[in-house]
Amino acid sequence: MTALEPSACYRAVQTRDARFDGRFFTAVRTTRIYCRPICPARTPRFENCTFFPSAAGAQEAGYRPCLRCRPETSPDLAFWRGTSNTVARALALIAEGGMDDEGAGVTELADRLGVGDRQLRRLFQQHLGASPVAVAQTRRVLFARQLLHETSLPMAEVALAAGFRSVRRFNAVFRALHGRAPSELRRSKAPAGTAATGVTLFIPYHPPYDWESMRAHLEARALPGLEHVEAGRYRRTVAHARGAGSVEVAPAPRRAGLRVTLRLPDVQALPMVVAQVRRVFDVGADVDAIGAHLSRDPRLAPLVARRPGLRAPGGWDGFELAVRAVLGQQVTVTAARGLGARLVAEYGEPALTEATGHPLLLRTFPRPERLVHEDLRRLGMPAARAKTLSSLAAAAVADPRLFQPGASLEEAIARFKRIPGIGDWTAQYIALRAVREPDAFPSADVALLRALEDDHGVRPTPEALLRRSEAWSPWRAYAAQHLWAADAARAQAPSPTKDTHAPAAATAH
């Protein structure tokens, strides 16, 4: 289904086809409720149904979310992804609170994306059936509903966490939308907890999901003191202006999603940290659509079939990911991890065990302000690489939005390459992992070239690989992930002896 064709949508509703969960929502005119395609309620009559590409579209049209299928727990999918990068970048900014601050509106959002506000509104209506303001408000309301259902946070904390300025405004919005107070939506069996002592949330994804590949990627790069992977669980510290916290992520038992436990010093940090978890674990990827597109290439088809749920891991923080990328230039993953561990131990802020809840989570990643004037050569790296890190820290201090989505992939690459010491490979890698550009592709990467050797052991040139990758657009980042996985598997080791993310030729740094 490439568009919202009503008869196709209705067939999916009749069969409760889970493949379409998150791709559209069904609004019922007689009940004024909107549902997921898998809702267990009795199937409404076709003539009473209206289909929306997003929950925001249904909500803006005056429908309220179903209490049985809970639209807030739907996978974050959309059939249009890959066709409107502007909307995808806008949604990423909104998810990170881009319209939550006072004065932040559609005009500012459009300016950051390099388009006019009228064009942005038109694109949102075309692809989501809702305005950017409605999308931002729906995000807040649905997140609040999730907190009400899954936690026992006090109402005041739920309101603050969801971005409402006051409990009064929170109550008013819920009464207008649901016809009842927020407290009436709360489930008494929700586990006890606060943001400081720990709250647990469910983050859904559309299966399949290759958890083992994701876990292995994170474990191979985990920095001692900052991260810890154990028994299939990923833990790390979280930095905040009011102190350190932590996050723990593991597969949810018998459910298509992740179980995330957060311990944070400020409840208002919850939506931002949840957005970071979603980015790192790539839960919004439409692996069916991506796999079908990449499988058109006969070399990629068997790789996709071997790992149908493979995701492209993201970076927890843009600056942190960029530093890791620079540390990993032309060295092994193990060597880069050692440098990163020394960096965290020397310059990271201490984190108390009472705050993180785990004795091995000891420090947060150093902020750019901490590194900008330091002589990083003392960590045992070449002078040129230390200078690149200092330039990177200075650029991050000067532009707090340096690692946020912009007008285009090309604009992001150019922005990073203006930093002294950052070449094309590093810029593409940062765009892939930190900015979450699905078409980023470091064509000079030695492992990508090695994975496409022919039967005689001849590798393509970076230029030839770049030309070939054009057919994989707009999902070249996922093609790279499949090729990296294939190269690592061929080496028959979790971490290849050579860096799987090193440029094939010398770059500017």
| Active site (catalytic) residues | 35, 445
As a whole number of angstroms, the distance between CA 146 and CA 202 comes to 9
DSSP 261: E
Residue 91 main-chain phi, psi, to 5 deg: -65, -35
Nearest Cα to 472, choosing from 487, 482, 485? 482
Antiparallel, parallel or unpaired: β 243-251 and 257-263: antiparallel
As a whole number of angstroms, the distance between CA 88 and CA 275 comes to 14
As a whole number of angstroms, the distance between CA 222 and CA 235 comes to 9
Those residues whose C-beta lies under 8 Å from the C-beta of residue 365, and which sit 6 or more positions away, are 223, 226, 237, 239, 316, 317, 320, 323, 344, 348
Determine the angle formed by the axes of helices 409-417 and 424-433, rounding to 10 degrees: 130
Antiparallel, parallel or unpaired: β 199-204 and 64-65: unpaired
The residue assigned the tokens 């609170």 is: 97
The dihedral built from the CA positions of residue 110, 116, 119 and 121, taken in this order, carries a sign that is: positive
- Transcribe 195-259 into DSSP letters: TTT-EEEEEE-PSP--HHHHHHHHHHHPPTBTEEEETTEEEEEEEETTEEEEEEEEEPTTSSEEE
The count of other CB atoms within 10 Å of the CB of residue 242 is 10
The count of other CB atoms within 10 Å of the CB of residue 490 is 13
As a whole number of angstroms, the distance between CA 196 and CA 157 comes to 11
As a whole number of angstroms, the distance between CA 361 and CA 229 comes to 11
The 3-state DSSP composition of the chain as helix, strand, coil percent (nearest 5) reads 50, 10, 40
Nearest Cα to 162, choosing from 223, 97, 110? 97
